[in-house]
Amino acid sequence: MTDRRPPAKRPRRFDPAWLGILPFALFIAMFLIAPTLNIVLGAFRTPEGGFTLANIRGLFTPSILSSYWISIKISVASAAIGCLVGFAMAAAVVLGGLPRAIRAPLMTFSGVASNFAGVPLAFAFLATLGPLGLVTGVLRTELGINLRAYGFNILSFWGLTITYLFFQIPLMILIVTPALDGLKREWREAASCLGATGAQYWRIVALPILFPTLLGTFALLFANAFGAVATAYALTGSSLNIVPISLFAQIRGDVLGNPHLGYAMAFGMIVITGAANLIYIVLRVRAERWLK
């Protein structure tokens, strides 16, 4: 009888290809994981280094709850409007009768605008819709429309919401365009053969398929607006009590500042944005399964 022994397992060799992602892994560890852990641990520490829940209980004070509520409302408003306008624009380019030459410039602009934020964006909107802005002045002198008389103020809830739309709408276009491309022509032809109208096709076939993508993108836009710091601070300063500005006041260490309460506020933002991103990931996976 021959001795049939299983072949010996060769020792695994180190794959040099892993060295290619080493800089990225170090970057993530230094600038994402380590700061996040420091914030989470700081939220449960006293200035002396002991453990406490007082910072978490401090999140339920009226002023901090108010700042969270204002931030949530701005995030929901900008995400909802961004989803509606972005979906309409993407659908017009992908499924509408617009020339195909429009798609490439729109996608290029969306890729740039979705990352345009901070001080430059705040300055652009102040120079455009501020009290002495270009559009504000033209409407007042040429058309006799005084935006201030109608209650519009760029340093307000709707002013910040409109500013956020500059990067929310392009982000929606970038995400929903591949989903619209995934709608098969055969589905619409089959619906037409069965006597369905265009509205019935969207209500019964297309929108149920796109719903996970739309809901997931709404969650992503919500998280994107909720975590925006530089744009809000550069635009409104301390005139609008939202979470990032209140957090900055605590971390900065003013007379009434409490850095560890600021860590707790940042921890609350991590929880909210993390939950929104988790919803987006789960729904995105489900949507990709439908569109395969």
pLDDT tens, residue order, the chain (292 aa): 455 666 656 666 767 778 888 888 899 998 889 988 988 998 898 888 788 898 889 889 898 899 899 999 999 999 999 999 999 999 999 888 788 888 889 999 999 998 888 888 888 888 888 888 888 888 888 888 888 878 788 888 888 999 999 999 999 999 999 888 888 888 888 888 888 888 888 888 888 888 888 988 999 899 999 988 778 888 877 777 888 888 877 777 655 567 888 888 889 988 998 898 888 888 878 777 766 6
Distance of CA 158 to the CA centre of its chain: 17
Q: What is the DSSP secondary structure assignment for residue 53, as one 8-state letter? A: S
The pTM score is: 0.84
Residue 241 near residue 70 (C-beta atoms within 8 A): yes
Q: Domains of the chain, with CATH numbers?
A: 49-291 (1.10.3720.10)
Residue found by looking up tokens 């709707």 in the block: 158
Residue 283 and residue 222 in contact, taking contact as beta carbons nearer than 8 Å: no
Give Cα 2 to chain centroid, integer Å.
Answer: 66
**Which amino acid is present at 130?**
G
Looking at residue 86, its pLDDT comes to 94
| 3-class SS of residue 45 | strand
Residue 93's identity, in one-letter code, is V
